[in-house]
Amino acid sequence: MDPLDALNEIAALLERERASRYRSKAFRAAAKAFAELPEAARTDLGRIQRTKGIGDTTFRVIREAIEGGVPDYLVELRGSAGVAAVESGLRALLRGDLHAHSDWSDGLTPIDQMVDAARALGHEYLALTDHSPRLRVANGLRAERLRAQIDLVGGFSGDGFTLLTGIEVDILDDGALDQEPELLDRLDVVVASVHSKLRMESPAMTRRMLAAIRDRHTDVLGHCTGRLVEGARGTRPASVFDAPAVFAACAENAVAVEINARPERQDPPDELIAIALEAGCLFSIDSDAHAPGQLSLLDHGARRAEAAGVPAERIVTTWPLDRVRQWLVRER
């Protein structure tokens, strides 16, 4: 097995399983260090072991790959990952992803690595939706940084793949969106999410969400309850709001309800997906990826959507890019 392929696959699987950032970053760093070695040095075990950025564990993976086998650690991770060898059902119909982060905010890797991973998965498009200014803990993008990012995004498209400009914008306490309207006008995709004061009383939370949904910039309502059901961050209860009213507004404004594919979120809960379905909503199955390996989490979201009986034609991320673009520029 090619050692570089082994290192990158291990990093992706660790990211998918939301393992410690240190572990996945160590394998990304080792892959970079190995790739920068001269071709003739890539089988010189002594030289490889002395290379900065390659530690004991990553060296063992490289050695086992050079010796002709699939490294033991990779075999172990493949066995526990639960990734289907062949995509089928609704997952096979997904063409893209409208919610992903890079190291411009709280993602782990540069934009180019997210794009490479999306291309490898066969995506037709990916929206880069780093956080907005209020979320300081996530290094949210102030206006000047977002402008700089917008200027870069076009350079990552080509050969059947498009990187869309976007943002995951905070829904502020009064329902306003946390970015300059003129900048939001320039973006392809706006995912609006609540990240603060998640325990607001239901009437106030409902007013807050309705204002954001009715904002002409909002395309996707992100992880609508904010709940956490498992994982390293612990658990968090769902926000409470008038679901029929919120989803009726989504349907009226053609705002897609996100089915967030992260297993620790499982958001919306099944009972809210049913309400949104009855209301006539569109949906968007998104990875909310913060690292390249997490883009593959779409299979979790697809399984939930299938189990809930969501028709593929009402899931915008099954649509080809030209239809997605038509939806994004709809009259509101």
Average pLDDT for the chain? 95
Quickly name the fold that domain 3-81 has. DNA polymerase; domain 1 (1.10.150)
What's the confidence (pLDDT) of residue 87? 65
- Every domain of the chain and the residues it spans: 3-81, 89-328
Would you say the CATH fold of 89-328 matches that of 3-81?
no
| Model pLDDT for residues 231-260, shown as the tens digit of each residue | 878 899 999 999 999 999 999 999 999 999
Percentage of the residues of the chain whose pLDDT score is greater than 90: 92
Tell me the C-alpha distance between 190 and 206, whole Å.
20
What's the confidence (pLDDT) of residue 31? 95
| CATH code for the part of the protein at 89-328 | 3.20.20.140
* Residue 300 structure tokens: 């979790």
Tell me the C-alpha distance between 244 and 313, whole Å.
22
With beta carbons less than 8 A apart as the criterion, state whether 94 and 318 touch.
Answer: yes
Residue whose token pair is 């990304």:
28
Percentage of the residues of the chain whose pLDDT score is greater than 70: 98
128 vs 88, which has greater pLDDT? 128
| Model pLDDT for residues 155-185, shown as the tens digit of each residue | 999 999 999 999 999 999 999 999 999 999 9
Q: How far is CA 268 from CA 161, 202, 206, in A?
A: 29, 16, 15
What's the confidence (pLDDT) of residue 82? 62
